[in-house]
Structure 1
Amino acid sequence: MPPIPRAQLERLSYIDFRLYFLGELRRSDLVARFGMGPAGATRDIAQYREAAPGNLDFDGTRKLYLPSATFRPLFEHAPQRVLSALSQGFGQGAAEDLSPLLRCEIPTALSRPRMDVLAPVTRAIHCGKAVRLVYHSLSGPPGERELVPFALVDSGVRWHVRAFDRKSAEFRDFVLTRIESPEVLADSAVGPRESAEHDVQWSRIVELELLPHPSHARPDVIRRDYDMPDGVLRIRVRAANAGYMLRRWNVDCSPDLSLRGPEYALGLRDPLVLYGAANALLAPGYRPPAPASPADKLPGSRQRDDTAASSR
C-alpha cells in the first residue's frame, strides 16, 4: 500500500482483523471502536477495498461485509496480540471500554502487582532512574533498598523486575508484589556498571533445543502442539530467564530425561547449555555437572604431566 497516516493504518488493520477472525464487519464496528462518524467509516472501508480488491463481499440483506471466498489477510497478525484482543478487547482506553470479542476463558492471575507500586517502577525504567523502596524478602525482615530497574519480566506465575541492587552490588530479580513504597530518585545518577549492558545473566543468550519427551505416548501430537516438523523446537532465551521458562512449560531437564508424568511433554536435549545460568535450578530435574575430580583432567594436561614425569 502507498504510505498512509498511522491512524488510518490502524483502522484498516482492524477491518482486516474483524473479517479474518470474526467473519463480518459493519460500519458501526469502526464507529464504536474509533469514535468516528459513519462517513469516515465508509471511506476507510473503501480504502481497504482498494488496497485488497476481492477481499470483501457485501451482504445487502444484513447490511454488513463478509470475507470473500478468496480472502487473504492484508496485514500480518501476531498470534499473541490476536488472542489478547479476542479474550480481553482492544485499545488502551479505560478498562470499562474493553470487553472480550468472543467467549473466552483465561487463567485467573493469583498474583497481581499494585498499580501504585508498578507505576513508579516503570517510570524509573523508562527514564533510566534509580528507585528507593522497601522490599519484603523471603530470607529476612523487610528492608530499604535502592534499585536501578531496567526490565519487567513475566515468569508465567508472577511479574518481577530485573534490576541492579545497590545493597548487594548485584543484578537480581525482585518480585513486584513484595515491593512497598517505591520512590523514583530523580537526582540519583546511575553509574555505567548499573546498566543492563553489565548484567552478564541478562546479556547471555541461551539456545535451547526441546524435544518431545521420550516417555510420551504420542510424540507426533507433541510435535504438532509445538510446531516442530523436524522434531526439534529451537528457542533463544536470556540466561536470567531460562529457569523460569523451563519450569513454566514443565520441560524435563534431567541428564537422562528420567522425569515421568503427563505434565512432561517436552525434554531438553542438552542440559549442559544451562551451565552458568543463575536460575537453572528452577528447571525441572536439572542437576549441575559434578565438580571435576583431580583425575579428570584435559587430555592436553595429562600429556603434559606425563611428559614432565618422564623427564624427571
Structure 2
Amino acid sequence: MKASAPGLRWGIEQRLEFIEFRLFWEGGVNRADIRGFFGVSVPQASNDLSHYQEVAPGNMLYDKSLKRYYASDDFKPKYLVPDANHYLMQMVATDPSPFTATDSWVSQPVGFATIPQPRRAIDPSMLRKLLNVIRTEQSVEIRYQSLNSEKPKPQWRRITPHAFCFDGMRWHARAYCHDRHAYRDFLLPRISGLRNTAEPGKLADKDSAWHEIYHLKLKPHPKLSEEQQKAIASDYGMKDGEFEIPMRLALLFYFRKHYLGLDYKEHEKSPQQQHIVMADPDSVRAAQARADALPKE
C-alpha cells in the first residue's frame, strides 16, 4: 500500500485503492462491487469510479455489454503496490472455515508474538496471469524449475490450473499436468514464465483428491502414562481418546510433512517428544496412495 495522497480523505482513497485492487487482481470492477463492500450509495460509487478515471487516466476501460470496468493494457498502479503474498492471504481470509482477524471481537489485545517464517518471493505479474487462466478455464505453459534430479534446468510444461493451496509454508498451484496426465501441485515461486494459453485438459471436477475430505484420526502416544494421555486429550479436546482433523485429501501429504511429525514412525519416537500419533496409520497410507501416486514437484 502506498502512502496517502495529499488532499484525499482516507475513506475516498481506500475506495480508490479498492477499485485498483479489483482491476489488477480480479479483472474488473463495477458500482455494485463498491456498494457491496463499502455500503455507499449508487451516486457515490459512480463518483468514485469517475474520480479514479481522473486521477489515473487510461488505467481502465468500460465494457458496455458487461457494464463493468476492466484494466487497460497500459494499466499502471497508482495506489496499489502489487504483492502476490498479500493477495493470496486475502484470499485465505475469504475461507469461512478458519478463524480470521475479521471474526475477532477483541478491542484491547494484550502482548503476543508469533514465529516468523521466511517469505517466498512470488511474482505478482505471474500470479495475475495465472489467476486469469483459472478464471477462464484454460491451459497454459509454465516455465517451471523442478528439484527433480532428472530436470536440473527449468522446463516448459503445460498445465490446466484450477486452485491454489497453502501448505503452511508455501503456496502451490493445483493443476492438471498435461505431461504426467495427473493432478499435481506446482510451487508458485518456481514458476518463472507463462505462455501460450490454449484449450484446457481436465478441469477441477475431475480432481477427486481435491474434492474428497479425509478425516485424519489422531490420538495420544500410547507410551505416555495414563495421566499424560489425559492431559494430551484435554489439550486437543479429544473424545474417547481420539480426535479427527478434516482436510482435503490433496493436502494430506503436506499436513503429515509439516505438522506433528506424522511419518508413520511416530510410535517409535520418544513419547515425551512425540505426543500425538496416527490412530489408524493403515487408513492414512491407503488415502495417501489414492492422493498421489506420483512424487511431489
TM-score by length of 2: 0.55
Give, as a single letter, the amino acid of the residue that structure 1 aligns with 2:242: V
CA contact (8 A) 1:210 1:267 kept: yes
User: Equivalences for 1:163-242 in 2 at 5 Å?
Assistant: 163-183=175-195, 185=197, 188-191=198-201, 194-216=202-224, 218-242=228-252
* 1:123 CA drift (Å): 2.5
- For the 8 Å contact 1:211–1:267, the answer to whether it is kept is yes
* Residues 134, 162 of structure 2: 8 Å contact kept: yes
CA distance in 2, matches of 1:79, 1:109: 19
1:162 to 144, 161, 174: 174
Q: Does 1:152 find its partner at 2:164?
A: yes
Q: Which residue of 2 aligns with 1:81?
A: 100
Which structure has the bigger radius of gyration? 1
Q: Is the partner of 1:80 in helix, strand or coil?
A: coil
CA displacement at 1:84 relative to structure 2: 8.3
Name the residue aligned to 1:300.
none
For the residues of structure 1 that align with 2:293 and 2:181, how far apart are their CA atoms?
21
Residue 124 of structure 2 is matched in structure 1 by 115
Which structure 1 residue ranges, 5 or more long, are not aligned? 1-33, 37-76, 90-99, 283-312
Distance 1:244 1:78, change over 3 A: closer
Q: What are the ranges of 5 or more consecutive residues in structure 2 without an aligned counterpart?
A: 1-37, 41-95
TM-score (norm 1): 0.53
Q: Which secondary structure does the structure 1 equivalent of 2:268 belong to?
A: coil
Alpha-carbon distance between aligned partners in 1 of 2:282 and 2:168, rounded to the nearest angstrom: 24
- CA distances 1:226-247 after superposition (whole Å, capped 9, x unpaired): 2213321113333321121122
Percentage of matched positions with identical amino acids? 26
Q: Is the 8 A contact 1:164 1:171 kept in 2?
A: yes
Q: 1:268 to 1:172 in 2, by over 3 A?
A: same
What is the aligned counterpart of 2:275 among 254, 261, 265? 265
Over 3 Å counting, the alpha-carbon distance change for 1:200 and 1:78 in structure 2 is closer
User: Does 2:156 correspond to 1:137?
Assistant: no
Residue deviations 1:175-231, cap 9 Å, x none? Answer: 11111123472xx2224xx11222243344433211112234622332232221332
SS at match of 1:133: strand
Q: Is the 8 A contact 1:205 1:238 kept in 2?
A: yes
> What is the CA distance between 1:278 and its match in structure 2?
4.4
**Aligned match of 2:113:** 105
Equivalent pair of 1:117/1:181 in contact (CA under 8 Å): yes
Counting matched residue pairs gives 195
Q: Match of 1:116, as an amino acid?
A: S
Amino acid at match of 2:214: V
Query: Does residue 245 of the first structure (1) align with residue 255 of the second (2)?
Result: yes
Cα distance change of structure 1 residues 134 and 281 upon mapping to structure 2, 3 Å threshold: closer
After TM superposition, give the deviation of residue 102 of structure 1 in Å.
6.0
The whole-number CA distance in structure 1 between the counterparts of 2:147 and 2:112 is 36
Amino acid at match of 1:259: K
Counterpart residue identity of residue 136, structure 1? Q
Q: Higher RCO, 1 or 2 (CA under 8 Å, sep at least 6)?
A: 2
Work out whether residues 266 and 274 of structure 2, in 8 Å CA contact, stay in contact via their aligned partners in 1: no
Q: Is the 8 A contact 2:257 2:263 kept in 1?
A: no
Contact 1:124–1:131 (8 Å) recurs in 2: yes
Q: Distance in 2 between matches of 1:159 and 1:208?
A: 22
Quote the RMSD (CA, aligned, Å): 3.6
- Residue 107 of structure 1 aligns with an amino acid whose one-letter code is I
CA distance in structure 1 between the partners assigned to 2:263 and 2:163 by the alignment: 27
Change in CA separation of 1:199 and 1:121 when aligned onto 2, cut-off 3 Å: same
